[in-house]
């Protein structure tokens, strides 16, 4: 028995050519320099969420089995539901269901096998044309054609899963069990029916939780597919992976209705930290941003960056260090992520050039010879210690923040190159905070972080 397309003609075009042209249009200007076996994408009507969905799908690494994990909007049940269909149909053709794997999952995980709960559920169906489009793109360059030769004759199967009243750890365990030979599409919109500004605030908060892996802060109202999202975030946390934003906006950015909007976002999983991804993929953009932002001040202009990589719109903390012939010329930074990273970098670049109290403002003739280092900071962690000796044993090789008596100071990890002795390092940091080098008290606090340098 096959699952017929129910939402063709409403959520997306019914005509195959029109549908293909629409999907292809979403690729214009999109970036896909990294491929991932797990993505989060929205499932609304294409006119609203199509750009966000394609931004995520373009990062999907296609595997033998494609899990599509979506919330149930119509039926109520416990745990997860699996179908008995042989194929799911769309205007672009049919996708085979891996019924062998469906049976295996039903034996390993608490689940329901029932076609009825899938019949009028859009959250899986709307993902299928995107999947068909990226697996076998109708238009491709000669280079892409050669890359895709290995796909000829390749058979993929889908594993549709609807999530009911379910513990997110079931989804995390499911992903872990089938990770080796599978890819995972987590289907979810973000906040529903708030005003445009409220939605933007809520979704920014949700995005920050996804991107920092702080599961404890999730609330069910933040996204309809919150269980699937939490499951993937939990899996990412356990495997030292990060979720990188591909796109985020809401329906108020598309339509004239700003009173009851829905949020859309897409993410892909990266096998490393967010900062490592930025260093690998956005290095030149970040360094150019520093130069252009400094030059704009010299020209009495306001700098507005263009074509910002989505990962740089995530909140982050940075330091910008300027040197000329190896001599420090300015260094200003942030230790806590309070704004989008691209904004933080611009602010710190301009402050390092013109507001560092240790130096005169940078001159135009100096800019050409400036050596730029942008340090991307990790999350800050408190250091627990019994006494100063215990603290000294825990500070290397991290960046360190100390605080006491309303005094605070920070050293980046690179300072260890100049002050390799732990006691000298800590004493120097105390003096930077305006404290005596031999100072210590019960209220003394210390925090650590790592930093990745872009030069």
For residue 397, what is the domain's CATH number?
Answer: 3.30.1490.150
Q: What integer is the mean pLDDT of 360-370?
A: 94
Predicted pLDDT at 149: 45
SS3 state at 49: helix
Shared-domain flag, residues 333 and 309 = yes
What b/e sequence results for 282-313 when a residue is b if at least 16 CB atoms lie within 10 Å of its CB, and e otherwise?
beebbbebbebbbebbeeeeeeebeebbbbbb
Residue in the structure block whose two tokens are 């872990």: 176
What does the block give as tokens for 453? 């340098």
Q: Give the contacts of 311 (CB within 8 A, at least 6 positions apart).
A: 244, 245, 274, 277, 278, 281, 282, 341
Shared-domain flag, residues 311 and 411 = no
- Reported as a single tens digit per residue, the pLDDT across 315-351 is 999 999 999 999 999 999 999 999 999 999 999 999 9
Shared-domain flag, residues 290 and 162 = no
Which of 450, 446, 302 minimizes the C-alpha distance to 385?
Answer: 446
Shared-domain flag, residues 37 and 141 = yes
Q: What are phi and psi for residue 454, nearest 5 degrees?
A: -110, 120
pLDDT over threshold 60, residue 377: yes
Which pTM was predicted?
A: 0.87
Spatial distance between the Cα atoms of 290 and 348, rounded to a whole number of angstroms = 9
SS3 state at 107: helix
Which of 312, 126, 314 minimizes the C-alpha distance to 225?
Answer: 126
Residue in the structure block whose two tokens are 């930074």: 333
**Percent of the chain with pLDDT strictly greater than 70:** 96
Which of 88, 139, 122, 134 minimizes the C-alpha distance to 9?
Answer: 122
pLDDT over threshold 60, residue 27: yes
Predicted pLDDT at 160: 98
- Reported as a single tens digit per residue, the pLDDT across 130-168 is 999 999 887 555 445 445 545 444 689 999 999 999 999
Spatial distance between the Cα atoms of 238 and 347, rounded to a whole number of angstroms = 34
Spatial distance between the Cα atoms of 62 and 65, rounded to a whole number of angstroms = 8
Shared-domain flag, residues 373 and 431 = no
Shared-domain flag, residues 263 and 325 = no
Is the distance from CB of 62 to CB of 35 less than 8 angstroms?
no
Predicted pLDDT at 145: 47
Angle at 146 between CA 141 and CA 147, to 5 degrees: 95
Residue in the structure block whose two tokens are 């069910």: 220
Q: In Å, what is the CA distance from 303 to each residue of 85, 318, 350? A: 55, 18, 10
Q: What integer is the mean pLDDT of 83-97?
A: 96
Structural domain ending residue among the three candidates 377, 411, 444: 377
CATH number of the domain within which 19 lies: 3.40.830.10
Res. 17 pLDDT band, cuts 50 70 90: very high
Can you say whether residue 187 is alpha, beta or left, with left for phi > 0 and alpha for psi between -120 and 50 degrees? Answer: beta
Shared-domain flag, residues 7 and 148 = yes
Rounded to a whole number of angstroms, the CA Rg of the chain reads 25
Spatial distance between the Cα atoms of 135 and 441, rounded to a whole number of angstroms = 62
Q: Give the contacts of 90 (CB within 8 A, at least 6 positions apart).
A: 5, 8, 125, 128, 129, 132
Among 28-37, 87-96, 244-253, 415-424, the range scoring the smallest mean pLDDT is 28-37
SS3 state at 83: coil
Structural domain ending residue among the three candidates 226, 251, 272: 272
Shared-domain flag, residues 30 and 166 = yes
Predicted pLDDT at 144: 53
CATH number of the domain within which 344 lies: 3.30.700.20
Burial of 96 (0-12, 13-18, 19+ CB in 10 A): middle
Predicted pLDDT at 155: 80
Q: What integer is the mean pLDDT of 99-119?
A: 96
Predicted pLDDT at 154: 60
Shared-domain flag, residues 242 and 288 = no
- Reported as a single tens digit per residue, the pLDDT across 435-453 is 999 999 999 999 999 999 9
Number of domains in the chain: 3
Query: What string of DSSP letters covers 144-194?
Result: HHHHGGGGTT---EEEEEEE-B--HHHHHHHHHHH-TTEEEEEE----EEE
Structural domain ending residue among the three candidates 217, 251, 272: 272
Q: How many CA atoms lie within 13 A of 4 on its CB side?
A: 3
Shared-domain flag, residues 229 and 372 = no
- Reported as a single tens digit per residue, the pLDDT across 403-433 is 998 999 999 999 999 999 999 999 999 999 9
Q: In Å, what is the CA distance from 442 to each residue of 218, 385, 387, 455? A: 35, 10, 8, 39
Residue 156 lies in domain: 2-272
CA dihedral (420, 426, 427, 431) in degrees, to 10, reads 120
Shared-domain flag, residues 19 and 146 = yes
DSSP code of 384?
A: P
Shared-domain flag, residues 312 and 242 = no
């Amino acid at each position: 028995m096959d699952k017929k397309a129910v939402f063709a003609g409403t959520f997306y075009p019914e005509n195959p050519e029109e549908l293909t042209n629409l999907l292809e249009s979403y690729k214009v200007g999109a970036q896909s320099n990294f491929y991932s076996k797990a993505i989060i994408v929205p499932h609304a009507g294409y006119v609203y969420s199509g750009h966000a969905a394609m931004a995520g799908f373009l990062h999907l690494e296609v595997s033998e089995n494609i899990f599509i994990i979506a919330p149930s909007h119509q039926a109520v049940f416990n745990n997860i539901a699996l179908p008995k269909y042989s194929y799911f149909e769309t205007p672009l053709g049919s996708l085979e269901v891996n019924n062998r794997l469906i049976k295996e999952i039903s034996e390993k995980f608490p689940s329901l096998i029932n076609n009825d709960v899938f019949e009028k559920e859009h959250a899986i169906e709307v993902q299928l044309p995107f999947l068909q489009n990226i697996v076998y793109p109708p238009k491709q360059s000669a280079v892409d054609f050669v890359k895709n030769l290995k796909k000829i004759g390749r058979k993929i199967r889908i594993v549709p899963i609807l999530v009911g009243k379910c513990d997110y750890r079931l989804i995390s365990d499911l992903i872990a069990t089938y990770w080796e030979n599978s890819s995972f599409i987590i289907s979810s919109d973000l906040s529903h029916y708030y005003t445009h500004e409220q939605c933007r605030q809520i979704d920014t908060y949700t995005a920050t939780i996804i991107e920092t892996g702080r599961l404890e802060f999730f609330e069910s109202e933040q996204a309809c597919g919150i269980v699937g999202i939490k499951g993937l975030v939990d899996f990412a946390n356990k495997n030292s992976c990060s979720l990188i934003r591909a796109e985020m906006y809401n329906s108020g950015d598309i339509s004239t209705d700003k009173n009851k909007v829905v949020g859309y976002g897409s993410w892909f999983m990266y096998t490393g930290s967010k900062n490592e991804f930025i260093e690998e993929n956005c290095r030149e953009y970040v360094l150019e941003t520093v130069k252009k932002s400094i030059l704009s001040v010299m020209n009495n202009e306001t700098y507005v960056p263009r074509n910002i990589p989505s990962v740089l719109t995530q909140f982050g903390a940075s330091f910008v260090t300027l040197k000329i012939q190896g001599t420090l010329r300015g260094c200003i930074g942030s230790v806590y992520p309070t704004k989008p990273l691209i904004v933080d970098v611009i602010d710190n670049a301009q402050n390092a050039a013109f507001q560092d109290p240790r130096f005169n403002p940078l001159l135009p003739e100096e800019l050409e010879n400036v050596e730029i280092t942008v340090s991307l900071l990790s999350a800050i962690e408190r250091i627990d210690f019994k006494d100063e000796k215990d603290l000294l044993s825990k500070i290397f090789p991290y960046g360190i923040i100390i605080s006491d008596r309303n005094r605070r100071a920070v050293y980046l990890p690179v300072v260890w190159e100049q002050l390799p002795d732990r006691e000298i390092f800590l004493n120097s940091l105390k003096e930077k905070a305006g404290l005596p080098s031999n100072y210590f008290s019960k209220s003394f606090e210390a925090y650590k972080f790592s930093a990745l340098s872009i030069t």
